[in-house]
Chains A and B, each alone.
Chain A
Amino acid sequence: MNSGNFTAQVDATFMFILIVSLILMAGITFSMIYFLFRYHHTKNQKPKDIHGNMWLELLWTVIPTILVLVMFYYGMVGYEKMETIPEDAMKVESTGRMWGWQFNYENGIQTDTLYVPKGKAVHLYLNSTDVIHSFYIPGLKAKKDVVPGMTNEMWFATDEIKAYDVFCAEYCGDRHAYMLTKIVSMPPAEFDAWYQSNAKTEENTEESTAAVDGE
């Protein structure tokens, strides 16, 4: 599956808003500072009561309206891609609890680190056994809450061979900051070998998931 993922799209949308914001922010700040000097009372003794200007006010109603609608549109398009889970994605059940993660593959493998083949779309079914958690992969710009009593779904696809950080993003108690794990993105062939050899036979017990624990 090489449909790519939505990470670049999030970055592009963010960049667009950032550039618009920086231009407007610079305009506002520069105008304030310029006016402070240009119309300081030592330079301008005769202030003028300008009550408004219809065209100007119309202009700065219409321009923000257009800008925010464009932002909204980009966000919606990007979000649609996030919410459209590829049909051929690899399905994994992911359970959050206070305070750790567990992954169940279709062939019965159970892990607490998520192993995936690079580039393959992964479809997560998210369940919680206690309170709300949130499955967050900052490196892939993906996040979905893990809510007890309902099954949320999300998808992602890695784009490098490496380990991605996973954080619990919804506050869940004492060890919330240690509810961490990794997504290990492997070459597809290597993944297949791991997936076949571990099928249903043994429980995979990984090392503690708390990367920063005990410091």
Chain B
Amino acid sequence: MASRAIVDANEHQEPIYLDYRGRYDGILGWILSTDHKRIGLMYLAALVVFFLAAMTLGFFMRLEQWTVGQTIVDAKTYNTLFTVHGVIMVFLVVVPGIPATLGNFFLPLQLGAKDVSFPRLNLTSWYLYMIGALIIFLALFTSGGLPDTGWTFYAPYNIRTTTNIPLAVFGVFILGFSSILTGLNFVTTMHQLRAPGMSWFRMPLFCWGLYATGWIQVLATPVLGITMLLVLVEKTMSIGVFDPSLGGDPILYQHLFWIYSHPAVYIMILPAMGIISEIMPTFARRTIFGYKAIAYSSLAIALAGSLVWGHHMFTSGQSYTANVLFSLLTFLVGIPTAIKVLNWVATLYRGAIRIEPPLLYALSFIFLFSIGGFTGLMQGVLNVDVHLHDTYFVVAHFHYVMFGGTVMGLFAGLHYWFPKMFGKMYEKSWANISWALQLIGFNMLYFTMLVMGYNGMPRRYYDHLIEFNAGHQLATVGSWVLIAGILIMFANLLHGLLKGEEADDNPWGGTTLEWSIKGLPPLENFDEIPEVTQGPYDHNPEPEVVK
């Protein structure tokens, strides 16, 4: 699709991004680089470390539930385990997640651009991210000790607890700026830097996902910042905002928190949906089914998703009318989501399907995310949610969405773009094995939790009644299988990175612009800015020849 001149070029005019020697060398060449690809990889490195750390905490949480009573840690430690697990996973992994890593790397490549609109701002975002993370880690080891409020920091418990909430909350506040600036940068980039001929409806769907995400990041994140600032003020100066004993209102906190944190779910999921929309047509060797419907549904999800925060508060004492309205709006989000899923499945119809690791991850995304969607419907229903709220059902549901959705989407994207990022290929057999282990372990862990939740197991419980013990043990075994799958996957990717075979320029037969680059992308991506003459996934007008 891109001008053939690029594909035929033998040498890039500029060194590839990994070889480039600018003003600085070695580590400085990375941490002072404004190249979107290097920034994407720096995010990725940090993110993998945070993910593994939080996963380890999750491992210990599950282990603690092995027996009734104490298994390995006391109640106070358990409460900090789930708090820190949640804070890291939400604020440092899944929210920045795909946009910061694969988004940074591939957005300009897919658009046919040399970089994002504001490269230095982009590097600033990375520094804010690292500073925010550092502050959160300081909060763990300084006075008061590890936060124990849960990742939601609910008032007035956040005011009462003596643990180090101010620092943790300040870290989240800083991270917010990183997210806002990334969103702003991406939205601007898509408005300004699309290659000639790339109309909005010739833009790849991964970009559409990032576009919708960018707007939520810009519009919703400030609310989180304000909320965290108010907690900080209340906590340090005893000015009543959320604590009723100081004249504040704890329900106000919940509104403010979820006005951000519900749309944040769409910050997490929309880019992952974009990745699935890339992978399905590539491995079906045909165009995507219902391109415009998928693009518009991203915007519809972003818009409707911003109006449903109150469904986290059906049992809080919120008014009947508000509950009914929030429930209705919640169901509206289900419609564009259903359209996406059905269009992905339809994309397989009359394709010439190659079953490769990225496709397997994408299919498990569709499967797990659909379960997340259906269990979401169950909680959107008012009377059923009253029963399910604050039980394991909710915990399992959002792991189906954020883990089965966002993280599986990230894994799918990593396996898809790995050859273009590093010029190497991982072992496909090991990728398949780790995928299968993850799928089995995931469902053992979280499907069991769905059942336990329906039977009334409350979340954030250090201990459990004996009748829940069998379920807890099954879930814990599931967590071991899942973790084994994840570790094998990372080991395989690392091995591919260091010792993998050299990859072809376009091993999967992708049609978007990043695949038109020969070998690894050079410093400014394209020797010559490509001219776009057709839709992003038109495989068959000029069928790609694949080995």
Residues of A within 8 A of B (CB): 6, 9-10, 13-14, 17-18, 21, 24-25, 28-29, 31-32, 35-36, 39-41, 44-53, 56-57, 60-61, 64-65, 68-69, 71-72, 74-76, 78-83, 130-132, 134, 136, 138-139, 141-145, 147-150, 152, 165, 167-178, 211-212, 214-215
A212 pairs with B345, CB closer than 8 A: no
B350 pairs with A28, CB closer than 8 A: no
| Chain B positions 338-353 with a Cβ under 8 Å from a chain A Cβ | 338-339, 341-343, 345-346, 348-353
A209: min CB distance to chain B, Å: 13
For A17, give the chain B residue with the smallest CB separation. B378
> What are 20 A-B contacts with C-beta separation under 8 Å?
A10-B387, A21-B378, A28-B370, A31-B348, A32-B366, A39-B353, A44-B350, A51-B289, A52-B293, A53-B289, A68-B380, A75-B380, A75-B385, A131-B156, A144-B317, A147-B316, A165-B456, A169-B459, A176-B462, A214-B69
For B354, give the chain A residue with the smallest CB separation. A41
Choose the segment among B137-145, B180-188, B404-412, B534-542 that binds chain A (4+ C-beta atoms closer than 8 Å).
B534-542
Q: With contacts A52-B289, A64-B338 known, is A212 near B458, CB below 8 A?
A: no
Q: With contacts A144-B315, A150-B317 known, is A131 near B284, CB below 8 A?
A: no
| Chain B positions 287-345 with a Cβ under 8 Å from a chain A Cβ | 287, 289-293, 315-317, 320, 323-324, 327-328, 331-332, 334-335, 338-339, 341-343, 345
CA distance in complex: A13, B320 (Å): 19
| Chain B positions 413-468 with a Cβ under 8 Å from a chain A Cβ | 454-456, 458-466
B374 pairs with A13, CB closer than 8 A: no
- Residues of chain A within 8 A (CB-CB) of B471 are none
Q: With contacts A28-B341, A72-B328, A212-B68 known, is A169 near B390, CB below 8 A?
A: yes
- Residues of chain B within 8 A (CB-CB) of A21 are 374-375, 377-378
Partner of A178, one of B154, B285, B463: B463
For B78, give the chain A residue with the smallest CB separation. A177
Partner of B351, one of A44, A74, A75, A167: A44
- Residues of chain A within 8 A (CB-CB) of B381 are 13-14, 17, 71-72, 74-75, 78
CA distance in complex: A89, B378 (Å): 29
A79 pairs with B377, CB closer than 8 A: no
CA distance in complex: A154, B74 (Å): 34
CA distance in complex: A57, B375 (Å): 24
Q: B251 near A: Cβ within 8 Å?
A: yes
B352 pairs with A45, CB closer than 8 A: yes
Q: With contacts A35-B349, A44-B351, A174-B76 known, is A75 near B382, CB below 8 A?
A: yes
CA distance in complex: A146, B160 (Å): 16
Q: B487 near A: Cβ within 8 Å?
A: no
- Residues of chain B within 8 A (CB-CB) of A56 are 346
Q: B244 near A: Cβ within 8 Å?
A: yes
- Residues of chain B within 8 A (CB-CB) of A141 are 383, 386-387
A132 pairs with B68, CB closer than 8 A: no
Q: With contacts A74-B381, A131-B157, A143-B315 known, is A50 near B244, CB below 8 A?
A: no
- Residues of chain B within 8 A (CB-CB) of A171 are 79, 149-150, 154, 157, 390, 459-460
B160 pairs with A65, CB closer than 8 A: no
B320 pairs with A138, CB closer than 8 A: no
Q: A47-B539, A51-B289, A53-B289 are in contact. List 17 more A-B contacts (CB 8 A).
A: A17-B378, A28-B342, A39-B353, A41-B354, A49-B539, A50-B349, A72-B331, A79-B324, A132-B156, A136-B456, A143-B389, A143-B390, A147-B317, A148-B244, A169-B459, A170-B390, A174-B79
- Residues of chain A within 8 A (CB-CB) of B127 are none
Output the residue of B345, B350, B383 with the most chain A CB within 10 A: B383
CA distance in complex: A83, B323 (Å): 11
- Residues of chain A within 8 A (CB-CB) of B464 are 177, 212
Q: B250 near A: Cβ within 8 Å?
A: yes
B334 pairs with A76, CB closer than 8 A: no
CA distance in complex: A107, B293 (Å): 63
Partner of B458, one of A41, A76, A149, A167: A167
Q: B10 near A: Cβ within 8 Å?
A: no
CA distance in complex: A31, B384 (Å): 30
For A68, give the chain B residue with the smallest CB separation. B331
Partner of B327, one of A25, A75, A136, A211: A75
| Chain B positions 131-164 with a Cβ under 8 Å from a chain A Cβ | 148-150, 154, 156-157, 160-161
Output the residue of B375, B381, B465, B466 with the most chain A CB within 10 A: B381
B458 pairs with A173, CB closer than 8 A: no
- Residues of chain B within 8 A (CB-CB) of A83 are 320
Q: With contacts A136-B390, A143-B315, A173-B157 known, is A148 near B384, CB below 8 A?
A: no
B4: min CB distance to chain A, Å: 20
B397: min CB distance to chain A, Å: 12
- Residues of chain B within 8 A (CB-CB) of A31 are 345, 348
Q: With contacts A138-B456, A141-B387 known, is A215 near B161, CB below 8 A?
A: no
A47 pairs with B157, CB closer than 8 A: no
A134 pairs with B315, CB closer than 8 A: yes
B249: min CB distance to chain A, Å: 7
CA distance in complex: A69, B327 (Å): 10
Q: B371 near A: Cβ within 8 Å?
A: yes
A145 pairs with B331, CB closer than 8 A: no
